Amino acid sequence: MKPRRTTETALEHVRALIERAEQAPGLEQLAEAAGLSPTYLQRAFRRRYGVSPAEYHRARRFGQFKASLREGAAVTDAVYEAGFGSGSRVYEHSNRLLGMTPASYRAGGLGASIRYTTTETPLGRLLVATTTRGICAVTLGDDDGDLVRQLRNEFPRAELERVDAGREEWLDAVIARIAAELGWSDAAAPELPPLDIAATAFQWRVWDALTRIPAGSTRSYGEIAAELGMPKAARAVGQACGSNRVALIVPCHRVVREDGTTGGWRWGVERKRDLLASERRHAAVAEAG
């Protein structure tokens, strides 16, 4: 008698089918291959991977599309190589998933104007960058040269302009907001500009959940996944945290491992420890006052 697949095995089988498929498989087709009902498959797949099977396939196609663009393929060629039937579907989602038009992304940000500044903080050097639409990067590092190189690597053909403090309202607002929220300044926290970040719908959901974690507190990847109604998507939550490019604005430093240990952070584990300790002190002082 053929052994019955476990749900985890069935879901991995479905994921592999989607990875290999040229066209998005229908839910009924995937359910039959998994030996599950369509309704259960949809629900279980979303819990496990953070998105529906259709959304997973779309995200994979956009990943292929972006890779083709960065390798120099023409936009039209990249559209069809990634399995999209027409360019209209790509352009519907390009601003959200690429952060700019496909042609501009292919050209490494060609035509995009990015203004940035750097400043000293208790955590090292801070770089803040904005486009005409909003914040596109907030990064931490040891020196300005490294921070600017990271920005240049992300947008190699964008027009970068360094702006001195006090000369750009949005840049100053971001720095002032961070300083106020983390206790580096007694000034009132101004409103933040909008974000201009390429992200999937699931990443936005995770980042929104992170902004609701109070300063001085932490949550595990599993707790965030459970809050989103997807308790088995802890790994996907971790990946969404790792893709965050706006340090401190989206507080991924407040997410820790399941055992409570600090875990990694793209801007440095020591910085993460120092930041969490500083937030706890500031929160304790605010509560006592």
Nearest Cα residue to 270 out of 283, 284, 285, 253: 253
Contact, 44 vs 11, CB < 8 A? yes
Strand partners, 159: 113
Amino acid at 82: A
pLDDT at position 150, please?
A: 92
Q: How far does CA 138 lie from the centroid of its chain? A: 12
Q: Is 241 a catalytic residue?
A: no
Residue of 44, 252, 256, 276 with catalytic role: 252
* pLDDT of amino acid 96: 43
> Could you tell me the domains of the chain?
7-106 (1.10.10.60), 113-168 (3.30.160.70), 201-288 (1.10.10.10)
Using CA atoms, how far apart are residues 182 and 284, in angstroms rounded to an integer?
A: 12
Q: What confidence tens digit (pLDDT) does each residue in 77-97 have?
A: 544 454 444 444 444 444 444
182 near 279, Cβ under 8 Å? Answer: yes
**Which residue do the tokens 């203004």 mark?**
115
Flag whether the pTM goes above 0.75. no
Q: Which of 95, 134, 97 is nearest to 113 (CA)?
A: 134
- Which pLDDT belongs to residue 190? 80
Q: Are 271 and 234 in contact (CB under 8 A)?
A: no
* Ranges of the chain whose pLDDT falls below 70: 1-5, 22, 49-51, 58-111, 165-166, 289
List the structure tokens of 165: 């403090």
Q: Which whole-number Å values give the CA distances from 193 to 21, 112, 169, 196, in the listed order?
A: 40, 18, 9, 9
